[in-house]
Amino acid sequence: MTKLRATPLPPEPSKEVAEIPMGIRRMAAWSWRLLLIVAAVSLLVWGLLQVTTLVIPVLLAILLAVMLNPVVKMLTRYTFLGRGASSGIALLGLLLVIAGMFTLAGRQLIAQWDGIQSNAVAGFQSITTWVTQTFQIDDTMIDSAIDQALAQLQANANALVDQAVNTAGVLGNIGTGIVVCLFTLFFLLANGTSIWLWVVGLLPPAARTSTHESVRRGWKALSAYVRTQILVAAVDATGIGIGMLALGLGSYAVPIWLLVFLFSFIPLVGAVVSGAIAALLVLVLQNWVYALIMLAIVVAVQQIEGNLLQPLLMGKAVELHPLAVFLGVAAGAMVAGIPGALFAIPLMAFTNATMLYLVGRDPSPELGIDQAARTHFAELKRKRRAPAV
């Protein structure tokens, strides 16, 4: 007969510890753990900032892989092409589209360059005349301001030269980043699944399935975000481009379309900046009445985006409150500038879906369990336990 043993009582705390209220002791226990987490995250962010030339292209390649992965799947399923050939065709198609857009925009700008110069000079002169007449500023004050600006330019000539040298270095880093991005993108499209399974295979066996399933949910949220942002950016750019056509500036519609489309991927800030650039361009090339009309078009397009497109298209795939979006963009910009603002929301969407699954709130229960991955992990575990011959 088994003898029952009494459960030993925990040791009594010392007198000094007993005098500290329980709430304070719990707060202290939480505090040092939170400090360790913050320190670890800060160290990780600091390390990533030291290799931004590598990190940013890889993150950009991941976003592009999310966008192109459906194309690769379609080519693999409905053609005789393998995964590698389909990935190469998708990558080549992306490069052709980007080159075509920039070539078309560049040709329009070059063809209208003389008109841009003359209209810009005329617009600047009209704005100067309006300012002098409205605020009673004479030519002497304007000439004095111009002379001071030239003096400051000459005084900072050395700094400008240094900046030009730094710009050359930045261009070299951009070239390196493009190469890294393209190579990473190709291998993510061609062998993304096998690469990921190899990474998960490095984890302890008990954590492999849960990690894989949580990342599947995060990948789905990231895919929904990328698809929605592409569609919203295209709608924004098309609406503002149509506005340029309506105002008689059709020769600038394609460059403005491309500018608005690219800036729309920076949440909140990008749409405001690109819209302001479009309104200022109309102000310089036409007059203030047309500029106000352009501003009204920009506001209308952005209202349609914010109040109709975003809630309708994003749905429940990316459960992020607008306040979280605003604070995420602000924090990303503070930490890493424009790249931080660009990648903040995709990272938040991915992390949100991943953590929801890990805490037991599956955001995408329709995904179920990946049986192929589970079989793969079980095979890895069996091979590890198999005795050596």
> From residue 194, how far is each of 59, 199, 208, 376 by CA, in Å?
19, 9, 14, 11
Name every residue whose Cβ is closer than 8 Å to that of residue 271 and which is 6 or more positions away in sequence: 236, 260, 263, 264, 302, 305
The residue ranges of DSSP E strands in the chain, in sequence order, are: none
pLDDT of residue 125: 67
pTM across the whole model: 0.73
DSSP conformation letters of 262-312: HHTTSTTHHHHHHHHHHHHHHHHHS-HHHHHHHHHHHHHHHHHIIIIIIII
pLDDT of residue 159: 55
pLDDT of residue 174: 79
pLDDT in tens, the chain (389 residues): 455 565 665 666 666 666 778 788 788 888 988 999 889 988 887 887 777 778 888 888 998 998 899 889 899 988 888 888 999 999 999 889 888 887 877 776 676 666 666 666 666 666 666 666 666 666 666 666 666 766 666 666 555 455 544 555 566 677 888 888 899 999 999 888 889 989 988 888 888 888 999 999 989 888 888 888 888 888 888 888 888 888 887 777 888 888 888 887 776 677 778 888 888 888 777 777 888 888 888 888 877 776 666 666 655 556 677 777 778 878 887 877 778 878 888 888 888 889 888 888 888 888 888 888 888 888 887 877 665 55
